[in-house]
Amino acid sequence: MATLCHPAFRIMIEKFGGCDEYYTEMINAPSLLNNGQFEKYYTDPAPVPEKIVWQLTGKAASPLIDAAALLCRLPGIGIDLNMGCCAPEIFRSGAGIAWMMKPVSEIQELVCGVKNVLVRYEAESGIHRRLSVKCRLGDDSFTDESFFSFIELLVSCGVEQIAVHPRTRKEKYREKPRYEYAEKAALKCIGKAGVVVNGDVSDRQSFERVTALCPDCTGVMIGRAAVQKPWIFAELRGRLTGGKTVDLEEAALSFIEDVQRYQPPEFWRTRLQRFFAYYSQNFSFAHYAGTKLMNAKSPSETAEALRLYFSEVPADRTILFP
């Protein structure tokens, strides 16, 4: 979800009723500590600061702990340590899912260190900040013992919520998620931490299937499907029925305006390209529309490409919910 989980995207989802929590893009700990040029954009909690989860990434414990000490003073739910990203460049750097393969002592240093930061902050301010971790099953050579030992280690260090994407590092999105691992993790964590299941939830049918398979999980995390269908949370809550419609053109044009409002010009093109790679899947001529939107060189060109498409295929402009 890098380049996607920014204020403009959250605003779009909120217009359809919102969701319970918004994880930010991964915030690189060393860049944050060094006052990187663009860090202020990653730490903008708009439009719902109270729903923000600050997602941290990095290869070493010390800067991650120091970054958590800064972020816990911002509004929001708490701090999330990303131990699940399997992008090759992230893994090779020693961040993301690489943490699942590090020595136990190193993992303990990080997780317990961040927990201590949050405990101290609560003692000073009276404000509780949750500690969460997002992970996968591990490398392709993972075993049940290695995965559940990792879960137990997180809980012993004070992690309060664990989001499990039940695939291995190399499986990415090719293989079906093994939801039984999320459910078994939830059972092991009852009374100690909540377990959120993530992976391939894209509509009501898949949502109901996953929640039936994982009845003891405390939540469902949705990523890519929410980019294609920012109204998915409203759909799952039954708020889009009885002839209600979604205006795809209006929603997309508002998103383009908000990207310009909340992101630096250097980010405009990549943010729009990444978003419309998913959003254009709603269109009858997805490849044609997606190519036009990918090739747009500016927000104004992107908006013009959208208007032209809907003038050519007016039936695609709205989605009707029975």
- At 173 the pLDDT is 72
Same domain, 35 and 84: yes
Does 55 count as an annotated binding residue?
yes
Determine contact, residues 117/124, Cβ cutoff 8 Å. no
With vertex at residue 238, the alpha carbon angle to CA 236 and CA 241, rounded to the nearest 5 degrees, is 125
Report if residue 228 sits inside a domain: no
Q: What is the pLDDT of residue 10?
A: 98
Q: Within a domain: residue 145?
A: yes
Domain that holds residue 213: 20-221
| 4 inside domain | no
Find the catalytic residue in 5, 72, 85, 214: 85
Q: Quick check: 172 pLDDT over 80?
A: no
**Does pLDDT of 174 surpass 80?**
no
Q: Is the pLDDT of residue 206 over 80?
A: yes
pLDDT digits (tens, 9 = 90+) for 14-68: 999 999 999 999 999 999 999 999 999 999 999 999 999 999 999 999 999 999 9
**CA atoms of 246 and 250, how far apart (whole Å):** 9
Q: Is 219 annotated as a binding residue?
A: no
Q: Is residue 240 part of a domain?
A: no
Q: Answer whether residue 226 is part of any domain.
A: no
Helix (H) or strand (E) run with residue 164 in it: strand 161-164
Residue 19 annotated to the active site: no
pLDDT tens readout for residues 82-102: 999 999 999 999 999 999 999
Q: Which of 189, 206, 221 is the last residue of a domain?
A: 221
Q: Is 263 annotated as a binding residue?
A: no
Report percent pLDDT > 90 for the chain. Answer: 96
Q: What is the pLDDT of residues 283-318, one digit of tens each?
A: 999 999 999 999 999 999 999 999 999 999 999 999
Q: Does 224 belong to an annotated binding site?
A: yes
Number of compact structural domains in the chain = 2
pLDDT at residue 222, as a whole number: 98
Tell me the H-state helices in the chain: 7-15, 29-33, 39-42, 61-71, 88-92, 104-125, 144-156, 179-189, 204-213, 224-228, 232-236, 248-262, 265-279, 286-295, 299-312
- Tell me, what's the pLDDT at 244? 93
